Structure 1
Amino acid sequence: MTNPKVQIDNVTKVFSGHKKNSPVLALDTTSLTVMPNEFITILGPSGCGKSTLLRIVAGLEEQTEGHIYLDGNEISGPSSNRGMVFQAYSLFPWLTVEENIQFGLKNSQMSPAQRKEVVQNYIELVRLNGFEKHYPRQLSGGMQQRVAIARALANDPDILLLDEPFGALDNQTRTLMQELLLEIWEKSNKTILFITHDVEESIFLANRVIVMTSRPGRIKADIPIDLHYPRPYNIKVDHRFLAYKEQLTELIREESLKAMMEVK
């Protein structure tokens, strides 16, 4: 029997209040099992704790209660075994494309020649050949995110964590990046957790979609996506895809309405 890649057990997160503000319960007893090589998207209304959960898995945030395990080892802080890609491009503006990708490898045991080979492999994987010496300011948004993904993968992490990485891109570029990410996932066999607000994106990428409730965040639904890979772009008009879209849209609408009522 295959062991889980990630095990999230009853995780709760409370943010302390400041001055007159009361503490905020962001996540409430959230549990999730992620198997090796799964591509899981996490969908939910704004403020439901999606990004908080991902940051806890990354070790960038500490849970108030509960435990998270990666390959059976409890997560207690950041580590190179988890690669993180944010919505903001988060590249070092003073470094070139190849220098950004190589940044995390500087403390490795690799020789300079080995590092160069790894960097070149990932430059080819994200289709940035010819842009090795360019700086981030010389690249489009989609190209910058390709560099960020390559940098995360270059460290050979056990899991890739992506927090709305395509949220700032135009629709056409976003679609192309979705296709590229699926191609990278199929080649790399990585386990991926991907945060998104976009229902179509969540279905197109994932073999499981996790739907979260409005705050405090809990898992409302865990929906397997029974669509074969590789997935062509026109699968988005397939009747099976549209049925998933209708189901997920209704689930998200329910939670978004709850969130609006709470604000009132």
Structure 2
Amino acid sequence: MSVLIAIPARYASTRYPGKPLVTLRDPDGTEKTLIRRSWEAAMAVRGIDRVVVATDDDRIRTAAEAFGAEVVMTSPDCRNGTERCAEVAAALPGYEIVVNLQGDAPLTPSWFIEELVAGLREDPSAEVATPVLRCDGRALNGFLTDRRAGRVGGTTAVFGATRHALYFSKEVIPYTGRAYGDAEETPVFHHVGVYAYRPAALAAYPSWPIGPLEELEGLEQLRFLENGRSVLCVEVEARGRQFWELNNPEDVVRIEAMLAEMQRG
């Protein structure tokens, strides 16, 4: 199956305007923008036929083309990254799987996406697939600390016996009612903001109205669930890597620390 990765990048983020062009510093002082790091993460994935940055902003286009990325300009009316990917798929038809690697997730390991694509190929009943990562106590405690401070630190997922999603939330679900040590395994799964779509489901998505759950949570993947489409949760392993999206300005320091840890490892 031919696979296209699209990296949606929007300048006018409500929570963090200009986020794709925020710079992240390596321990040696090297600075790269968030969008460049996300593109480099996409380029490291095996078995991918094409990688493009999808944006409606000329500042992002200029920055992306300067480091060698292919850019597809999309409408400013796209309400989220999935709608932006749908525009890319319409402009670049013929791919059997379209992957949405969100532009705020530069720490996404290549094997997350490789296993995601493999999972969608193996489950013909699934129309969309997305990775989930079992939280250790360190990650779960980070989520809970953010929520107590009024910040959204990430999204959690719950799924049934067939691994098809039941719900996604910015709250920490399921409720655990106890504390966990940093290295202890927990029953909470961190939803990794990457999606693999079959083209038909992706093409239908923009025509559906935003439902109440998507509006309340601000989570684009809930539109699939609210319209009766199956979303496969593919469990991936961190292999010692920490994972975090850049959701808030406070996350810059956290991600830079994780980049430093990766280089030391």
After TM superposition, the score normalised by the length of structure 1 is 0.28
Which is higher, the Rg of structure 1 or of structure 2? 1
More relative contact order in 1 or in 2 (CA 8 Å, sep 6+)?
Answer: 1
After TM superposition, the score normalised by the length of structure 2 is 0.28
Larger helix fraction of residues = 1
